Structure 1
């Protein structure tokens, strides 16, 4: 079997540029190697992956809450044959959250598709 060995590439950059890159990596919580390789290969950076996963998790949690609220509103409306203005306002707010989350989701997915298509 032929084992693939890691290679080393030396590049020259100004000291300030290296500091800038390291600061960027520190902010994004990624390695300098990851920044360079992912940027050169037009791949999604690790910090962007984390943001996507965090967004998906947040979205899932919010949708579960919204689903519960929709069920509660339906139960109240069915039981009382009417719904209070407060309950209707709460329900409307939750639907507005869905619209915002869907917009964010679409923006994130567009970025992912752009990265994947390169």
Structure 2
């Protein structure tokens, strides 16, 4: 169930649990840097928790940075080849094979990101 962003939160659910359990839940929330309400709602609705969402987004950003470094290296190589006006066939074939590998990895990464975004949108 997706909550309407404009809906007003003015209803309460009271539950009875042991003091120990409540303290344990609060410790979990403290470690994850989330609210107890968030923990309960997302657990009941089988949604990803906010701390997990932050980790996933950090992972995506890290992956993007790795590919930016690879793209920078490719551009540097292209600049060297352009200045020398020459690249051997062996070097060119190796470079082309590396580009194919990178392209396949990027495709896999994009597929994974699509799955992650779908999971995050729930």
Tell me whether the two structures share a fold, i.e. TM-score over 0.5.
yes
Query: What root-mean-square deviation, in Å, do the aligned CA atoms of Structure 1 and Structure 2 show?
Result: 3.4
Query: Aligned residue for 2:44?
Result: 40
The gaps in structure 1 that reach 5 residues or longer are none
Query: Aligned residue for 1:50?
Result: 54
The C-alpha deviation readout for 1:22-58, integer Å capped at 9, x for no partner, is 1111111100000000111112211122112222222
Separation (CA, whole Å) in 1 of partners of 2:38 and 2:49: 7
Separation (CA, whole Å) in 2 of partners of 1:62 and 1:43: 29
Query: Aligned residue for 2:28?
Result: 24
Q: Which has the higher contact order (CA 8 A, sep 6+)?
A: 2
Query: Aligned residue for 2:18?
Result: 14
> In 1, are the aligned partners of 2:34 and 2:50 still within 8 Å (CA)?
yes
Calculate the TM-score normalised by the size of structure 2. Answer: 0.61
Report how far residue 66 of structure 1 moved.
1.5
Deviates more, 1:48-57 or 1:20-29: 48-57
Separation (CA, whole Å) in 1 of partners of 2:50 and 2:83: 49
Query: Aligned residue for 1:70?
Result: 74
Separation (CA, whole Å) in 2 of partners of 1:4 and 1:17: 29
